[in-house]
Chain A
Amino acid sequence: MRGSVAIAGVGLAGCGEAPGWTEMEIAAAAAKNALGDAGLSARDVDGIVVASTNIFMSGLALAEHLGVHPKFTESTMVGGSSFVGHLIPAALALNAGLCDTILVAYGSSQRTGVGRAEAGKYKMALDPQPFEHPYKPFNPPTSYALAAARHMHQYGTTRAQLAEIAVAARQWAQLNPEAFAREPLTVEDVLGSRMVSDPLTVRDCCLVTDGGGAYVLTRAERAKDFPKPPAYLLGVGAAHWHRQISSMPDLTVTAATESGQRAFEMAGLGPQDVDVVELYDAFTINTLLFLEDLGFCGKGEGGAFVSGGRIAPGGELPVNTNGGGLSCVHPGMYGIFLLVEAVRQLRGEGGARQVKDAAVALAHGNGGVLSSQITALLGTKDTL
Chain B
Amino acid sequence: MSPPSGPEKRFFDALAAGRFEIQQCAACAKHVFYPRVLCPHCGSGELGWVAASGRGTVYSTTVVRRKPGDGGDYNVCLVDLAEGVRMMSRVAGVAPQDVTIGMAVKARIAEGLVEFTPA
List residues of chain A with CB under 8 Å of any chain B CB: 130-132, 134-138, 142, 145-147, 149-150, 153, 194-199, 244-247, 251
Contact B101 A131 (CB under 8 A): no
Contacts of A244 in B (CB 8 A): 88
Minimum distance in angstroms from B73 CB to a CB of chain A: 9
Q: Which of A195, A199, A246 has the largest count of B CB atoms less than 10 A from its CB?
A: A246
Complex alpha-carbon distance, A137 and B101, angstroms:
17
Q: Does B49 contact A (CB under 8 A)?
A: no
Contact A153 B86 (CB under 8 A): no
Q: Does B57 contact A (CB under 8 A)?
A: no
Q: Which of B12, B86, B88, B101 has the largest count of A CB atoms less than 10 A from its CB?
A: B88
Contact B62 A145 (CB under 8 A): yes
Which of chain B's residues 28-43 have a Cβ closer than 8 Å to chain A?
A: 33-34
Complex alpha-carbon distance, A244 and B33, angstroms:
12
Q: Which of B61, B62, B77 has the largest count of A CB atoms less than 10 A from its CB?
A: B62
Contacts of A198 in B (CB 8 A): 62-63, 65, 97
Q: Does B52 contact A (CB under 8 A)?
A: no
Choose among A130, A134, A149 the residue that contacts B62 (Cβ–Cβ < 8 A): A149
Contact B88 A246 (CB under 8 A): yes
Q: Given A130-B8, A147-B60, A198-B97, are A135 and B76 neighbors across the interface (CB < 8 Å)?
A: yes
Contacts of B8 in A (CB 8 A): 130
Choose among A136, A196, A199, A246 the residue that contacts B78 (Cβ–Cβ < 8 A): A246
Complex alpha-carbon distance, A69 and B90, angstroms:
51
Contact A245 B78 (CB under 8 A): yes
Which chain A residue shows the least CB distance to B77? A146
Contact B88 A153 (CB under 8 A): no
Choose among A135, A145, A147, A199 the residue that contacts B113 (Cβ–Cβ < 8 A): A135
Contact B60 A149 (CB under 8 A): yes
Contacts of A147 in B (CB 8 A): 60
Contact B12 A130 (CB under 8 A): yes
Contact B78 A138 (CB under 8 A): no
Minimum distance in angstroms from A204 CB to a CB of chain B: 12
Which chain B residue shows the least CB distance to A149? B60
Complex alpha-carbon distance, A136 and B33, angstroms:
19
Minimum distance in angstroms from B112 CB to a CB of chain A: 8
Q: Given A130-B8, A130-B12, A146-B78, are A137 and B60 neighbors across the interface (CB < 8 Å)?
A: no
Choose among A132, A153, A196, A247 the residue that contacts B60 (Cβ–Cβ < 8 A): A153
Contact B64 A138 (CB under 8 A): yes
Complex alpha-carbon distance, A247 and B33, angstroms:
9
Contact A246 B60 (CB under 8 A): no
Q: Which of B60, B77, B78 has the largest count of A CB atoms less than 10 A from its CB?
A: B60
Minimum distance in angstroms from A99 CB to a CB of chain B: 37
Contacts of A136 in B (CB 8 A): 64, 74, 76
Choose among A130, A149, A245 the residue that contacts B61 (Cβ–Cβ < 8 A): A149
Contacts of A199 in B (CB 8 A): 62
Contact A246 B76 (CB under 8 A): no
- Binary interface profile of B, 2-15, with partner A (CB < 8 Å = 1, else 0)? 00000010001000
Complex alpha-carbon distance, A135 and B88, angstroms:
7
Q: Given A135-B88, A137-B88, A246-B86, are A142 and B62 neighbors across the interface (CB < 8 Å)?
A: yes
Q: Does B89 contact A (CB under 8 A)?
A: yes
Contact A197 B101 (CB under 8 A): no
Contacts of A146 in B (CB 8 A): 60-62, 76-78
Complex alpha-carbon distance, A136 and B86, angstroms:
17
Minimum distance in angstroms from A112 CB to a CB of chain B: 24
Contacts of B78 in A (CB 8 A): 146, 245-246, 251
Contacts of B76 in A (CB 8 A): 135-137, 142, 146, 197
Q: Given A146-B78, A150-B101, A198-B97, are A132 and B88 neighbors across the interface (CB < 8 Å)?
A: yes
